[in-house]
Amino acid sequence: MFEHADALQLLDSSQPLERKLAAIHEALYAQVDLVDRISVAAYDAASDTLKTFLASSPGGGNLVRYEARLADAPSLAEILRVGRPRVVNDLDIFREGRHLHTRVIAEERYRASYTVPTYLNAAFSGFIFFNSRTSQVFTEEALRILDVYAHLISAVVAADMFALRVLAAAVKTAHDLVSFRDPETGAHLERMSRYARVIAQHLAASGAASLDDEAIERISQFAPLHDLGKLALPDSILHKRGPLTAEERDEMERHALRGREMIDAIARNFGLEQLEGLDLLRHIAESHHETMDGSGYPRGLRDGSIPLEARIVAVADVFDALTSPRPYKPSWSNAEAFAWLRRLARTKLDEDCVEALSFNTAKVAEIQARFQDGNSGSES
């Protein structure tokens, strides 16, 4: 009675998305054995950007940590305009393409592709790509099978993303309550998110850190939620104009631990304790005020004992604070801010994270231009 083994039983477990996609790919291979790569690109509507997010390619792959504006990829934009998936049984038609993703696909000798748009609550959320190193393989029979798997992959990814969005939305709702008492513009949070992404991408690309596309996306998503614990601070401390007393300073520093406690409570209340990526959010909330020399709070961690995601967010937060006007100071120039960050490197801030942001001045300027105070960047 129990001889049959469910090939997709792993999907019912709390395994990482990458392992779930690999299990789906293995099951698909038993039916369509010429699909050599499955990948998922996520779409950020605020910046009209497609970003590599997830891939299953047993032979390896170089298309990682990559992003491009959808407006600059007319062949993909056409899929949305037509409203149907796209079949290309001979990728030679794109051999003159200039984009990196086109070159990588050619270099890895993929000859055919099937591209399916995905949606979350009726809003476009990205693409699923099925690639083969053999041309003319996507017959109608094969496509009927791929359609089923495309919807399965979309559902698995959407469930994971939806759970993360529920968690992030719950935390952000609490964070918004904080903003009534400690105002931060939406543009500040958008910039922070993208600075954190730039840092994480550079660390991964340079080999300074082992971060895949999924982890980079999570760090970017969670960076703006770092100060949730301020909700627990009384106004007398949060808005005090003069220096804090020793007792008030102790209370202020406890907001990091309380942020971690709030996240745990929210995850517990929403039944998301096993959610992949939750630890990243916990670490960001609790450890973004730790410093490399051990003088930070709440635990006095130092150097590599500080979670990498917290070190990344610390640099993103300090840089945006320096380059944004405040009631008590004018904004600094980027050059002044980078110089100050370098002074803080090693003793307070992670040197690799500082250099990662400093190396990407053009991307920083682009983020600042797109997400100015008073402009959430929602237009694309």
Report residue 356 as tokens.
């990662």
CB-based contacts of 198, cutoff 8 Å, min separation 6? 356, 357, 360, 363, 364, 367
Tell me where in the chain the CATH 3.30.450.40 domain(s) lie. Answer: 12-160
322 vs 169, more confident: 322
Residue 62 pLDDT class (50, 70, 90 cuts): low
Rounded to an integer, the average pLDDT of 109-137 is: 92
pLDDT tens string 189-235: 889 999 999 999 999 999 999 998 889 988 998 998 888 888 888 87
- State how far the Cα of 6 lies from the Cα of 353, in Å rounded to an integer: 44
Q: Which of the residue ranges 61-70, 210-219, 237-246, 366-375 would you say has the lowest mean pLDDT? A: 61-70
Q: What is the side-by-side order of every strand in the sheet holding 49-56? A: 67-69, 49-56, 37-44, 123-132, 112-120, 86-88
List all residues 6 or more positions away from 355 whose beta carbon is below 8 Å from its beta carbon: 345
> What average pLDDT does the chain have?
87
pLDDT score recorded for residue 378: 40
Element (H, E) at 44: strand 37-44
pLDDT at residue 271, rounded to an integer: 82
Q: Residues 350-357: what's their mean pLDDT?
A: 97
Q: Where along the chain do the CATH 1.10.3210.10 domains lie?
A: 181-370
Instruction: Return all residues near 86 (Cβ < 8 A) that are at least 6 apart.
Output: 75, 78, 79, 113, 114, 115
**Backbone φ/ψ region at 50: left (φ over 0), alpha (ψ -120 to 50), beta:** beta
- Contact between 166 and 270 (Cβ < 8 Å): yes
Q: What CATH fold (topology level) applies to the domain 181-370? A: Hypothetical protein af1432 (1.10.3210)
- The pLDDT of residue 380 is above 80: no
**What fold is seen in the domain 12-160?**
Beta-Lactamase (3.30.450)
